[in-house]
């Protein structure tokens, strides 16, 4: 359900340009094609230095790869940026990105709070918690005035990462909050004190645009939109953009799009590259240069209840999230 009522059902991504296939290069008749590969001419003499131009390296999004500096350590923590991980489509990598971006930022010395704001509780499970053993959750923090932030925050096995856990109880909050005063600001209110303690707070949203997600967007300074690199993933993006715009206009003028992240990318397929091209056409420089490739290591690490950065520390998936962390730091945390 869209918290802002009916109207747009998300099936028409109006600002998405139509998919235009690049025409195939003209084929030479078979008898004109060279039978042997043409040998590459070897140049014995080095090219003159003046003619050598710096080679432009294109990243997986088709744009020049930027220079991402090594993050510098920080001495004082606090003044956190709150970032909501948001897409109403399910299974696009919101929770995976919350865990692994959080863990990577912590590797770079940032103090991180992860907020599980999905009644499915996947973030809590993905960090090794048993949902039935959670005594106090985000639900209690939202609904009970005498519950304090420090009663609910738990530390995790990942150094530098704390968690506000959730379980199915949170689904009741969506109904109960409707009757509250300033119902859209409930999460912002309870996170206020955490801003002084942490450098970054990542909120893992549920796959819907209901009241919980609007709460997350109202509490946030920025939003990251993970998008599966698959054609159907582009449907509904207009609705999400519309919701972000409405929250900015009506509830939270400081809300920015911190970035759009292509996930489950398979660079070997033309399809994935076309979807990436359309993402860049629609969102421009909001699209992160980093993309997350498809690998089963992510499911394996979820089962193990830890981030990929510790489960398979040297894997390309772990490296991708470290690179994303660098990009997030350059774009919106250290800026
Ligand atoms: N890059 C990836 N490659 C392969 N599998 C992935 C990748 N990212 C996530 N997954 C897997 O896809 C599934 C869905 O991912 P995840 O739970 O992060 O999505 P979500 O958007 O949080 O889903 P939901 O909307 O249900 O909360 C999980 O099993 C996860 O392990
Ligand atoms: Mg999730």
Instruction: Please list the pLDDT of the chain residue by residue as tens digits (335 residues).
Output: 556 655 444 444 444 554 555 555 555 444 444 445 555 555 555 555 556 677 889 999 999 999 999 999 898 999 999 999 999 999 999 999 999 999 999 999 999 999 999 999 999 999 999 989 999 999 999 999 999 999 999 999 999 999 999 999 999 999 999 998 899 999 999 999 999 999 999 999 999 999 999 999 999 999 999 999 988 888 888 899 999 999 999 999 999 999 999 999 998 999 999 999 999 998 999 999 999 999 999 999 988 999 999 999 999 999 999 999 999 999 988 87
* Strand blocks (E) in 29-145: 81-85, 112-117
Distance of CA 203 to the CA centre of its chain: 10
pTM over 0.85: yes
d(CA 317, CA 294): 8
d(CA 183, CA 174): 10
Nearest CA to ligand 1 atom 9: 93
Which atom of ligand 1 is nearest the CA belonging to 97? 18
Nearest Cα residue to 175 out of 142, 131, 220, 129 = 142
Q: Please give the distance, rounded to the nearest whole angstrom, from the Cα atom of residue 50 to the centre of ligand 1.
A: 49
Which residues have a Cβ under 8 Å from the Cβ of 149 and sit 6 or more positions away? 141, 164, 190, 191, 193, 194
Q: Can you list the alpha helix ranges (DSSP code H) found in 257-331?
A: 270-283, 297-304, 308-311, 316-328
d(CA 309, CA 105): 11
Nearest Cα residue to 206 out of 301, 95, 124 = 95
Q: Please give the distance, rounded to the nearest whole angstrom, from the Cα atom of residue 91 to the centre of ligand 2.
A: 7
For the CA of 261, the nearest ligand: 1
The topology (CATH level 3) of 81-333 is Rossmann fold (3.40.50)
d(CA 128, CA 283): 35
Q: What is the DSSP letter of 83?
A: E
Q: Please give the distance, rounded to the nearest whole angstrom, from the Cα atom of residue 34 to the centre of ligand 1.
A: 47
Q: Please give the distance, rounded to the nearest whole angstrom, from the Cα atom of residue 150 to the centre of ligand 1.
A: 29
Domain borders along the chain are 81-333
Mapped to the 3 state alphabet, what secondary structure does 208-219 carry?
Answer: CECHHHHHHHHH
User: Could you give the 3-state DSSP secondary structure of residue 306?
Assistant: coil
d(CA 34, CA 26): 15
Q: Please report which helix (H) or strand (E) contains residue 261, including its range.
A: strand 256-263
β-bridge partners, 314: none
d(CA 158, CA 108): 13
Q: What is the DSSP letter of 99?
A: H
Nearest Cα residue to 242 out of 209, 287, 216, 218 = 209
Pocket probe mutation, ligand 1, options 87, 88, 95, 96, max atoms within 8 Å of Cβ: 96
């Amino acid at each position: 359900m869209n918290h802002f009522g009916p109207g747009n059902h998300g099936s028409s991504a109006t600002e998405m340009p139509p998919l235009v296939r690049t025409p195939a290069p003209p084929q030479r008749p078979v008898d004109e094609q060279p039978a042997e590969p043409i040998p590459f001419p070897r140049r014995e003499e080095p090219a003159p230095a003046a003619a050598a131009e710096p080679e432009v390296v294109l990243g997986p999004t088709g744009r020049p790869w930027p220079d991402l500096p090594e993050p510098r350590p920080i001495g004082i923590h606090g003044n956190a940026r709150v970032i909501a991980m948001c897409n109403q489509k399910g299974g696009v990598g919101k929770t995976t990105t919350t865990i692994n971006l959080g863990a990577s930022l912590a590797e770079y010395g940032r103090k991180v709070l992860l907020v599980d704001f999905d009644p499915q509780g996947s973030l809590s499970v993905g960090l090794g918690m048993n949902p039935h053993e959670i005594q106090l959750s985000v639900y209690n923090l939202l609904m009970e005035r005498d519950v304090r932030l420090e009663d609910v925050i738990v530390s995790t096995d990942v150094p530098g990462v704390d968690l506000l856990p959730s379980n199915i109880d949170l689904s009741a909050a969506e109904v109960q909050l409707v009757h509250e005063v300033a119902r859209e600001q409930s999460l912002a209110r309870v996170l206020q004190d955490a801003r002084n303690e942490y450098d970054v707070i990542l909120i893992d949203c549920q796959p819907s645009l209901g009241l919980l997600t609007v709460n997350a967007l109202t509490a946030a300074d920025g939003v990251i939109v993970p998008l599966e690199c698959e054609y159907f993933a582009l449907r509904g993006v207009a609705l999400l953009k519309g919701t972000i715009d409405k929250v900015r206009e009506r509830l939270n003028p400081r809300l920015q799009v911190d970035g759009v992240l292509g996930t489950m990318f398979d660079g070997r397929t033309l399809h994935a590259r076309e979807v990436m091209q359309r993402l860049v056409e629609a969102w421009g420089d909001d699209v992160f240069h980093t993309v997350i490739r498809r690998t089963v290591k992510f499911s394996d690490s979820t089962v193990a209840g830890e981030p990929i950065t510790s489960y398979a520390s040297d894997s390309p998936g772990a490296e991708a999230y470290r690179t994303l962390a660098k990009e997030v730091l350059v774009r919106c945390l250290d800026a």
